[in-house]
Amino acid sequence: MKEFSLDVASPHSPAAARSALLSPRTWERLGASSAAPAADGLTAVLPLRADQLPDALSRFVRGEAGLQVQVSGEAAGAEPLRLVLTVPGAPAEVRVRLDVRAGGEESGSVLSAQAQLESSVPFLGGMVESALEPVVRTQLAEQLHEVAHLA
């Protein structure tokens, strides 16, 4: 398992940033082909271009690739939000604990992500995780940045 952390600043309040992360409209504005409320959050599917899918995963995915994002938590709560990111058919999963807190002296907020990347490929999982980690880190940062600014 690979773990990494990243912070993304948002010009919006913590409450607005949390609401945006749990809003189907936000994910649709990001290009999600579907975004549906779930029992404790939402599930969105974002299209992936061929160049966004790392070689370590592309051989496992057939047809159109989509990034499935499941967000759970409460918009008004203070507890961390949970994100699970998968590409159906790919032997990897990213679990993210997302804390949204006030941005300090400035108005706005900070989204602090603690991510765990895990591959289910027998014997080679560590190599797959090492190959995926920089790509996942970059794409997660980009997606969180976009969501943080759409609130």
pLDDT of residue 8: 93
When comparing pLDDT for 98 and 126, which is higher? 98
Return d(Cα 43, Cα 11) in angstroms, integer. Answer: 25
Query: Hey, which of 26-30, 73-77, 89-93, 126-130 has the most confident mean pLDDT?
Result: 26-30
- Architecture of the domain spanning 2-52+64-150: 2-Layer Sandwich (3.30)
Domain boundaries, the chain: 2-52+64-150
Return d(Cα 138, Cα 151) in angstroms, integer. Answer: 21
Strand intervals (E) in the chain: 2-10, 34-38, 41-47, 66-72, 81-86, 92-102, 109-119
Q: Which of the four pLDDT bands, split at 50, 70 and 90, describes residue 135?
A: confident
